[in-house]
A and B are shown apart, each in its own frame.
Chain A
Amino acid sequence: MAVRRIDLMLCTGTGCVAGGAFRIKDTIENEITKYGLQNEVSVVITGCNGSCGQGPLMVVQPDGIFYGWLKPEDIPFLVQEHFLKGRPVKRLMFVPLERKEPVPLMSNIPFFQKQMLIVLRNKGIIDPEKIDEYIARDGYTAIEKVLPLMKPDEVIEEIMRSGLRGRGGAGFPTGRKWKVCSDERKFPKYIIGNCDEGDPGAYMDRSLFESDPHSVIEGMTIAAYAIGASRGYIYVRTEYPLAIRRMQIALSQARDYGLLGKKILGSDFDFDVEIREGSGAFVCGEETSLIHSIEGKSPEPRQRPPFPAQIGIWGCPTVINNVETLATVPVIINRGADWFSKIGTATSKGTKIFSLVGKINNTGLIEVPMGIALREIIYEIGGGIPKNKKFKAVQTGGPSGGCIPNNLIGLPIDYESLTKSGSMMGSGGMIVMDEDTCMVDVAKFFIQFTNDESCGKCTACRDGSEALLEVLTRISEGEGKEGDVEFLEELGLAIKDASMCGLGTTLPNPILSTVRYFKDEYEAHIREKQCPARVCKKLIKYYVDPDRCVGCLLCVKTCPVSAIKGELKYIHIIDQSLCTKCGQCLEICPPRIAAVTKLTGKEARELQSLPGPIPVAEWKKTKSASKGDFRFTPYREETDREHRGDNEVP
């Protein structure tokens, strides 16, 4: 391999590819050829860098300069300035919100500073489609150590001592699961890598496949050796075409190198892995459902025990691990259980990958040590909430988890603390919500999801979720009754008790946690028929404030259902009987005018619109003539008075 002066680590995770990363790549290659730099500068395709909010992005090595938000038209200038003349381009660098100066080095960007990369150790550094690059970063050295030097029991012992727990959500100790399976005397045995990542808001497994697929293969091989399995399956969502392709490439390369197949590395150990695609059923993430899916049946879960580690696919002992868990294994083998167990808290060891999404400045994928405070994630890594809004809650654990409110911002992120707060670790989605998020709407959203995805086997889950949804819908439409909240809690607890698999036993969590922390919002919906966050459509009205409207016609033209009446320089009026509450008028109204507002509760009920469009100028005259007694709506009383003052003083 030729040595180049500069390597451009161009991120090609799903996010950056959708943003046009491959167009950027072509443009860079054209430009460097134009200047005859092709022997000095190389473009390296890497997996997800994690800082998805800044994509398409690249890191210039060996200096470590980070460029984000790249567009093809920036490239000629960048190549000329930086790679030809050696002057890094400031305007393409990352600029933190609170500072005006760009931060050139990736290692100095706060988003990366607080992270600790163990599972994602190779992200953005290697080309995931080249096994040699994984090997160059100590890849497959763990399997080299395990096969000749360690007995299966020793491997299990090491993993047990490390304190590694399942990264799929429930947090079962990995070593113990392996032990149960290895004690079974029935053969063949199987190992499954679970990449059926269905949790809304979570995409770490996809990213892992796209950035470092070999780490999963190596971890799986070690697990297979430990439990005595000769065949493995990777169960992955069909929704992830890029991840599947990269994993297929990785598997065939590993076979070519003798790292999969017969007599791996000259030992007596045979092992191979096959990819199985799911097909859009959330419940398949549950291990017994997943087994049924591989067996070609409808993926309904079954009662446990017996656990899959005892009786799994085709009745054979089967270990099912999340792929993030498996990718951690080679590092533990290489660096030792003692080293690993020093990271994290007393009961939660190591690091965890989270996807930080929703109303947060730096969205992306992060890997942090267990026990880190929520505050550090939201404000230091995440850079706070956009548009200076207030942080309201963070939802973890997907539809099985709950919302952690603002006042628990100091909460350490580990398995136990999250469970105690009414949420759970889950697969690692963190959906940040600001003050404009309605918690009843969020709860309704998740119940709708689980109601759709319930397989229908248990009555409590199938019909219970239906009943929960009915009550939540009623509340969000202003038809809620006293006692509804208590009913939700009671039914929620009953569903938890009476369902069989993880989907049913956790589905009430979004309701239970929002009722626990945001009861006042439920009560506002029920008693005042008011949605404090102004989200629930039936409880809000859009309204054009005559005092602010300049009659520019923007909203009139935008309204998809022609519900806004008005002419140029006439005050615009929304016909409430036609309005579908899509909110496009509010978005289009220029911020300096800000005439369109949302009303809720009493304001909305008592809203009286103007009888018909009148000229803006006439409205102003009428207002000053009536000395402000003229009132169309009780809302904005304060503003009315302010405006009256304006009009009186010339």
Chain B
Amino acid sequence: MIQFSQNAIKRVESLKKQYPTKDACLLPVLHMAQKEFGYISPEVMEYVAGLIGISPARVYGVATFYTMYNKKTVGKYHVQVCTNISCHLEGSAKILDTLKSVLGIEEDQTTPDKMFTLSSVECLGACGFGPVVQINDDYYEQCTEQKIKDIVSDLRKK
């Protein structure tokens, strides 16, 4: 049985009072849940629904619409390759291919050691320096095949 920490529950209670409707705190609470539990599993959805007092179906509809709520477990490092236009022109497809072969996984998969998850994402707003790869909260810019290989092997050593 999953459960928020006491602090998180307090925060949810104050969020619920902040808006005219209960639904409005759903997005912030899902963000909190993702931080706390790592990803939004069906169990998390049900828990959040109970906490806010709305139907699980409603939570499911919202959580699945937004791409940044992870519905599957994510590795220690979430490697997100921007494949949008500016990065595409600078060769992000090659970076993605390199990552696939270096990590040995396809998009939206996690390595068996739970270290890396690979996804392609939309514009990260760092268009002046493509191709851009975001790993957790850090941006790596002007990636080349060699650079991205080095980054991955550095992270493996950590």
A residues within 8 Å of B by Cβ?
14-15, 17-19, 52-53, 55, 197-203, 206, 237-241, 274, 276-282, 293-299, 314, 355-359, 363-365, 395, 429, 431, 433, 437, 442, 445-446, 449, 452-453, 455, 560, 582-584
Whether B128 pairs with A15 at a CB distance below 8 angstroms is yes
Query: Which residues of the partner chain A approach B121 to less than 8 Å between Cβ atoms?
Result: 239, 280
Whether B128 pairs with A298 at a CB distance below 8 angstroms is no
Whether B89 pairs with A449 at a CB distance below 8 angstroms is no
Number of interface residues of B (CB under 8 A): 46
Whether A15 pairs with B129 at a CB distance below 8 angstroms is yes
Interface set, chain B 122-158, CB cutoff 8 A to A: 122-130, 132, 134, 137-141, 145
Whether B86 pairs with A281 at a CB distance below 8 angstroms is no
Query: Which residues of the partner chain B approach A359 to less than 8 Å between Cβ atoms?
Result: 89
Pick 25 A–B contacts, CB within 8 A, sort by A: A15-B128, A15-B141, A18-B129, A197-B125, A200-B86, A201-B85, A201-B123, A202-B127, A203-B127, A238-B68, A241-B137, A276-B27, A277-B28, A279-B27, A279-B31, A281-B65, A282-B122, A357-B86, A357-B130, A358-B127, A363-B129, A429-B127, A431-B89, A449-B122, A560-B101
**B72 interfacial by beta-carbon distance below 8 Å:** no
Measured CB to CB, the nearest residue on chain B to A583 is B94
Query: Which residues of the partner chain A approach B88 to less than 8 Å between Cβ atoms?
Result: 445
Shortest Cβ gap from B27 to chain A (Å): 6
Which of B27, B124, B128 touches A364 (beta carbons < 8 Å)?
A: B128
On whether A238 and B127 interact (CB within 8 A), knowing A18-B138, A298-B62, the answer reads no
Alpha-carbon distance between A429 and B86 when the two chains are bound, in angstroms: 10
Whether A200 pairs with B84 at a CB distance below 8 angstroms is yes
Whether B141 pairs with A280 at a CB distance below 8 angstroms is no
Whether A18 pairs with B123 at a CB distance below 8 angstroms is no
Instruction: Encode B47-73 as 1/0 by CB contact (under 8 A) with A.
Output: 000000000000001100111110000
Whether A201 pairs with B86 at a CB distance below 8 angstroms is yes
Shortest Cβ gap from A3 to chain B (Å): 35
Query: A277-B31, A356-B128 provided; 15 other pairs, C-beta below 8 A?
Result: A15-B128, A18-B140, A52-B129, A198-B122, A200-B85, A277-B27, A279-B66, A293-B27, A296-B25, A296-B62, A297-B62, A314-B24, A431-B127, A442-B85, A445-B88
Alpha-carbon distance between A449 and B23 when the two chains are bound, in angstroms: 29
Instruction: Encode B1-39 as 1/0 by CB contact (under 8 A) with A.
Output: 000000000000000001111111111101100000000
Query: Which residues of the partner chain A approach B28 to less than 8 Å between Cβ atoms?
Result: 276-277
Query: Which residues of the partner chain A approach B19 to less than 8 Å between Cβ atoms?
Result: 314
On whether A279 and B67 interact (CB within 8 A), knowing A442-B85, A449-B84, the answer reads yes
**B43 interfacial by beta-carbon distance below 8 Å:** no
Alpha-carbon distance between A437 and B86 when the two chains are bound, in angstroms: 12
Alpha-carbon distance between A584 and B97 when the two chains are bound, in angstroms: 11
Shortest Cβ-Cβ A-B pairs, 4 listed: A280-B68, A296-B23, A279-B66, A203-B125
Query: Which residues of the partner chain A approach B89 to less than 8 Å between Cβ atoms?
Result: 358-359, 431, 433, 437
Shortest Cβ gap from A189 to chain B (Å): 13
Query: Which residues of the partner chain A approach B86 to less than 8 Å between Cβ atoms?
Result: 200-201, 357-358, 431
Whether A279 pairs with B68 at a CB distance below 8 angstroms is yes
Whether A198 pairs with B20 at a CB distance below 8 angstroms is no
Alpha-carbon distance between A446 and B134 when the two chains are bound, in angstroms: 22
Whether B145 pairs with A584 at a CB distance below 8 angstroms is yes
On whether A17 and B94 interact (CB within 8 A), knowing A200-B122, A202-B125, A314-B21, the answer reads no
Whether B139 pairs with A17 at a CB distance below 8 angstroms is yes
Shortest Cβ gap from A4 to chain B (Å): 31
Query: Which residues of the partner chain A approach B138 to less than 8 Å between Cβ atoms?
Result: 18
Instruction: Encode B75-90 as 1/0 by CB contact (under 8 A) with A.
Output: 0000000001110110
Alpha-carbon distance between A280 and B124 when the two chains are bound, in angstroms: 10
Query: Which residues of the partner chain A approach B94 to less than 8 Å between Cβ atoms?
Result: 582-584
Whether A281 pairs with B67 at a CB distance below 8 angstroms is yes
Shortest Cβ gap from B97 to chain A (Å): 6
Shortest Cβ gap from A322 to chain B (Å): 15
Query: Which residues of the partner chain A approach B85 to less than 8 Å between Cβ atoms?
Result: 200-201, 358, 395, 431, 442, 445-446, 449
Which of B27, B97, B123, B129 touches A296 (beta carbons < 8 Å)?
A: B27
Shortest Cβ gap from B87 to chain A (Å): 9
Which of A237, A277, A299, A314 touches B65 (beta carbons < 8 Å)?
A: A299
Alpha-carbon distance between A11 and B124 when the two chains are bound, in angstroms: 19
Query: Which residues of the partner chain B approach A274 to less than 8 Å between Cβ atoms?
Result: 18
Shortest Cβ gap from B65 to chain A (Å): 5
Query: Which residues of the partner chain A approach B132 to less than 8 Å between Cβ atoms?
Result: 18
Alpha-carbon distance between A52 and B130 when the two chains are bound, in angstroms: 11
Measured CB to CB, the nearest residue on chain A to B31 is A277
Alpha-carbon distance between A276 and B139 when the two chains are bound, in angstroms: 22
Which of B24, B31, B130 touches A295 (beta carbons < 8 Å)?
A: B24
Alpha-carbon distance between A14 and B124 when the two chains are bound, in angstroms: 10
Whether B62 pairs with A280 at a CB distance below 8 angstroms is no
Which of A53, A445, A582 touches B97 (beta carbons < 8 Å)?
A: A582
Alpha-carbon distance between A182 and B89 when the two chains are bound, in angstroms: 45
Alpha-carbon distance between A202 and B124 when the two chains are bound, in angstroms: 9
Shortest Cβ gap from A489 to chain B (Å): 22
Shortest Cβ gap from B102 to chain A (Å): 10
Whether A560 pairs with B122 at a CB distance below 8 angstroms is no
Interface set, chain B 95-114, CB cutoff 8 A to A: 97, 101
Measured CB to CB, the nearest residue on chain B to A362 is B128
Alpha-carbon distance between A162 and B141 when the two chains are bound, in angstroms: 39
Whether A280 pairs with B31 at a CB distance below 8 angstroms is no
Alpha-carbon distance between A19 and B147 when the two chains are bound, in angstroms: 13
Query: Which residues of the partner chain B approach A240 to less than 8 Å between Cβ atoms?
Result: 125
Query: Which residues of the partner chain B approach A199 to less than 8 Å between Cβ atoms?
Result: 123
